[in-house]
């Protein structure tokens, strides 16, 4: 079996390190800096490796030029990474808004299972955003700190304003999880070209679908119901506004 | 459409130049033979890469089909085990419905992978994955004493399939095969998530919550996240690409 340059365990570890670095205050700055350096070095090495190895199949010995295949590939993958990071950060923010509102009693008592679901899913989305930002940083692109404003404005804000109970909150979360899963499937099938971005997307897409499944179970859906093949319906594309 | 839900994308003009790890390895093997014949090596390696990658893709598709057949066999036999009748009727019906739906999914997956294997010039794989059968399923059979054990074994089989497909997404060269892996890996992950959630309820002796509408206020906290133990889907259990190839 072909091994990925970043295994799932290492990916989790590295993104956790990056996340810690982002949140680090001065006492932890030394470790955070080291962790960030290690992450970027790893991701950077992978990116450099991909570029070097890609030259094996480049038919022009002078290498990539603006506007040629290589240039478009990198641009597309970075665009997808930025959009994905914004979508993940929107999920983080939405779960936080839900948990904050629940703490005020807006939805009545928050069931233990749903609270656990929300906190763990939020943690996953934070890790996913960090993974995409690591790729962006390795590609020399600014990291994304904002959310997907297109989805926030069109979907989340109007829906959240109408949420009155836990089921409504779970339904909104389900919308975001399904959207994320479809987005990653579309990215893998139609948008991404570089192996590193493919690896990240492929390692996240099933997790979003698992979130979705557990939400459906908590909402009372029959676990047997579902498609045999995941679909790209509802997928977002890199044209979304991030901010 | 290849089969229900598997989109066949238009050919990607970039696909031929895509560097997967597998095709890359073949290219590098070709180039590594001698440093004194780089140009000739590149020409030869390009041809070798195409043929080698296609062969390995056939094996990957057949291996996937063998995992699907194994899953069907495990579910089919599990559903018939006498210990499954120990579940309360409502929980038994829920699990039986889940098993029936999941078997249907796996049948469609096997058909999809075999269709691609044939398109790539290979034969359809009609058998189960003998390696996983011998290494995972058969050793587990004597210890299946409760429905919980059966559910956990099924989750393990789903996990092996999902991890294999996640790994193959970035490894295969054929676009249609990659898209099939991509559209199926999450579904296997969903099966596992449902099974792990069910297992979390059975583990605390709450089979009564195995119903289409569990009392959400009383479902244990652990069941809220038992279905997704990893932020990133692992690949450590991925099976070798040619393990289930038709010999």
- pLDDT for the residue numbered A219: 87
Banded model confidence at residue A215, pLDDT cuts 50, 70, 90: very high
Q: List the structure tokens of B191.
A: 């099966």
Task: Convert B213-230 to b/e letters by CB count within 10 Å (16 or more is b).
Answer: ebebeebbbebbbbbbeb
The pTM assigned to this predicted structure is 0.79
Mean pLDDT of B30-46: 41
- pLDDT for the residue numbered A78: 96
Q: What percent of chain B has pLDDT over 90?
A: 75
Look at the block and give the residue holding tokens 């829906």.
A159
Rounded CA separation A40/A134 (Å)? 7
Question: Using one digit for the tens of pLDDT, what is the confidence trace for A132-181?
Answer: 999 999 999 999 999 999 999 999 999 999 999 999 999 999 999 999 99
**Least confident stretch, A32-36, B33-37, B205-209, B214-218:** A32-36
Nearest chain B residue to A232, by CA = B183
A121 touching chain B per CB within 8 A: yes
Between residues B145 and B16, the one the model is more confident about: B145
B45 has pLDDT over 70:
no
Nearest chain B residue to A58, by CA = B17
Say if the Cβ atoms of B104 and A228 lie within 8 Å.
yes
A62 has pLDDT over 80:
no
- pLDDT for the residue numbered B107: 98
Between residues B66 and A24, the one the model is more confident about: B66
Phi, psi of A148 (to 5 degrees): -70, 100
B22, B183, B213 member nearest A2 (Cβ):
B22
Q: What percent of chain A has pLDDT over 70?
A: 68
Kindly state the helix (H) or strand (E) to which residue B228 belongs, with its residue range: none
Between residues A170 and B3, the one the model is more confident about: A170
Three-state secondary structure of B42-99: HHHHHHHHHHHHHHHHHHHHHHHHHHHHHHHHHHHHHHCCHHHHHCCHHHHHHHHHHH
Say if the Cβ atoms of B231 and A208 lie within 8 Å.
no
- pLDDT for the residue numbered A220: 84
Kindly state the helix (H) or strand (E) to which residue B185 belongs, with its residue range: helix B175-203
Mean pLDDT of B202-219: 92
Say if the Cβ atoms of B234 and A9 lie within 8 Å.
yes
- pLDDT for the residue numbered A112: 96
- pLDDT for the residue numbered A5: 36
Q: List the structure tokens of A124.
A: 């996953």
- pLDDT for the residue numbered B212: 81
Half-sphere exposure of B95 (CA within 13 A, CB side): 34
Banded model confidence at residue B54, pLDDT cuts 50, 70, 90: confident
User: How far away is chain B from the Cα of A238, in angstroms, using its nearest Cα?
Assistant: 18
- pLDDT for the residue numbered B52: 75
Contact yes or no for B93/B27 (Cβ under 8 A): no
Say if the Cβ atoms of A203 and B166 lie within 8 Å.
yes
Banded model confidence at residue B21, pLDDT cuts 50, 70, 90: very low
Three-state secondary structure of chain A: CCCCCCCHHHHHHHHHHHHHHHHCCHHHHHHHHHHHHHHHHHHHHHHHHHHHHHHHHCCCCCCCCCCCHHHHHHHHHHHHHHHHHHHHHHHHHHHHHHHHHHHCCCCCCCCHHHHHHHHHHHHHHHHHHHHHHHHHHHCCCCCCCCCEHHHHHHHHHHHHHHCCCHHHHHHHHHHHHHHHHHHHHHHHHHHCCCHHHHHHHHHHHHHHHHHHHHHHHHHCCCCCCCCCCCCCCCCCCCCCCEC
- pLDDT for the residue numbered A163: 96
Question: Using one digit for the tens of pLDDT, what is the confidence trace for B100-140?
Answer: 999 999 999 999 999 999 999 999 999 999 999 999 999 99
Say if the Cβ atoms of B223 and A204 lie within 8 Å.
no
A93 has pLDDT over 60:
yes
Distances in whole angstroms, Cα of residue B199 to Cα of each of A213, B147, B192, B193: 14, 9, 10, 10
- pLDDT for the residue numbered B50: 66
Mean pLDDT of A32-60: 32
Contact yes or no for B46/B29 (Cβ under 8 A): no
Distances in whole angstroms, Cα of residue B101 to Cα of each of A199, A227, B4: 29, 9, 15
- pLDDT for the residue numbered B53: 78
Banded model confidence at residue B204, pLDDT cuts 50, 70, 90: very high
Rounded CA separation B135/B127 (Å)? 16
Question: Using one digit for the tens of pLDDT, what is the confidence trace for B227-237?
Answer: 999 999 999 99
A124 has pLDDT over 90:
yes
Contact yes or no for B227/B158 (Cβ under 8 A): no
B189 has pLDDT over 90:
yes
**Least confident stretch, A25-39, A145-159, A193-207:** A25-39
Banded model confidence at residue B242, pLDDT cuts 50, 70, 90: very high
Nearest chain A residue to B197, by CA = A214
Mean pLDDT of B157-170: 98
Q: Please, what is the end-to-end C-alpha distance for chain A in angstroms?
A: 40
Look at the block and give the residue holding tokens 């080291």.
A34
């Amino acid at each position: 079996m072909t091994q990925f340059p970043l295994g799932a365990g290492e990916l989790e570890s590295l993104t956790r390190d990056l996340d810690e670095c982002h949140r680090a205050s001065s006492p932890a700055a030394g470790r955070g800096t080291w962790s960030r350096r290690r992450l970027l070095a790893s991701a950077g090495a992978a990116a450099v490796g991909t570029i070097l190895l890609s030259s094996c199949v480049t038919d022009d010995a002078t290498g990539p030029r603006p506007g040629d295949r290589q240039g478009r590939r990198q641009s597309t993958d970075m665009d997808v990474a930025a959009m994905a990071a914004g979508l993940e950060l929107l999920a983080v923010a939405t779960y936080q808004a839900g948990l904050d509102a629940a703490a005020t009693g807006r939805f009545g008592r928050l069931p233990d299972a749903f609270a656990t679901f929300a906190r763990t899913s939020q943690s996953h989305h934070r890790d996913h955003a960090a993974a995409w930002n690591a790729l962006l940083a390795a590609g020399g692109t600014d990291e994304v700190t904002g959310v997907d404003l297109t989805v926030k404005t069109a979907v989340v804000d109007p829906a959240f304003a109408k949420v009155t109970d836990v089921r409504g909150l779970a339904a909104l979360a389900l919308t975001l999880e399904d959207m994320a899963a479809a987005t990653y499937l579309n990215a893998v099938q139609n948008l991404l070209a570089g192996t590193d971005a493919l690896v990240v997307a492929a390692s996240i897409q099933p997790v979003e679908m698992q979130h979705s499944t557990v939400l459906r179970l908590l909402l009372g859906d029959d676990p047997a119901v579902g498609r045999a093949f995941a679909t790209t319906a509802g997928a977002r594309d890199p044209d979304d506004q991030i901010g | 459409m290849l089969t229900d839900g598997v989109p066949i994308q238009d050919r990607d003009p970039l696909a031929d130049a895509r560097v997967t790890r597998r095709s890359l390895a073949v290219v590098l093997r070709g180039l590594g033979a001698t440093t004194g014949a780089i140009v000739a090596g590149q020409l030869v390696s390009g041809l070798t890469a195409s043929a080698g990658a296609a062969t390995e893709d056939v094996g990957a598709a057949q291996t996937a089909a063998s995992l699907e057949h194994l899953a069907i066999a495990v579910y089919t036999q599990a559903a018939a085990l006498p210990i499954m009748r120990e579940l309360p009727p409502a929980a038994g019906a829920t699990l039986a419905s889940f098993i029936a739906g999941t078997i249907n999914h796996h049948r469609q997956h096997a058909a999809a992978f075999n269709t691609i294997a044939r398109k790539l010039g290979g034969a359809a794989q009609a058998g189960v994955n003998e390696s996983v059968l011998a290494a995972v399923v058969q050793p587990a059979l004597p210890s299946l004493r409760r429905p919980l054990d059966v559910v956990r074994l099924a989750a393990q089989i789903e996990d092996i399939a999902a991890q294999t497909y996640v790994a193959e997404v970035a490894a295969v060269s054929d676009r249609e095969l990659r898209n099939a892996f991509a559209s199926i890996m999450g579904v296997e992950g969903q099966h596992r998530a449902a099974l792990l959630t069910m297992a979390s309820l059975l583990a605390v002796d709450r089979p009564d919550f195995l119903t289409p509408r569990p009392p959400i206020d009383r479902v244990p906290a652990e069941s809220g996240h038992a279905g997704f133990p990893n932020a990133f889907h692992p690949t450590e259990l991925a099976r070798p690409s040619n393990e289930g190839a038709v010999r």
